[in-house]
Amino acid sequence: MLSLVIGDHVDALVVAAVVVLDAVIGFVQEHRAEQAIAALGQTIVTEAMTCSGSAISS
């Protein structure tokens, strides 16, 4: 934080606020993406039917 070192406290606070806001937004988006992937995973059918000769099994 060069702004803080050279004494420009307002700029330093603005930069810090933007960085924190970006981190929070990134965390929220990542959390929502994980929830969406989990919801999609629950909709996948994991059962299949096979046919061997005249017998059909699942």
Per-10-residue mean pLDDT, the chain, length 58: 77 93 98 96 84 72
pLDDT of residue 58: 66
Do 1 and 12 form a contact (C-beta atoms < 8 A)? yes
Angle at 42 between CA 37 and CA 45, to 5 degrees: 120
pLDDT of residue 46: 81
Number of neighbours of residue 8 by Cβ within 10 angstroms: 14
Do 42 and 35 form a contact (C-beta atoms < 8 A)? no
pLDDT of residue 1: 64
Question: Cα separation of 27 and 50, whole Å?
Answer: 43
- What tokens appear for 38 in the block? 């989990």
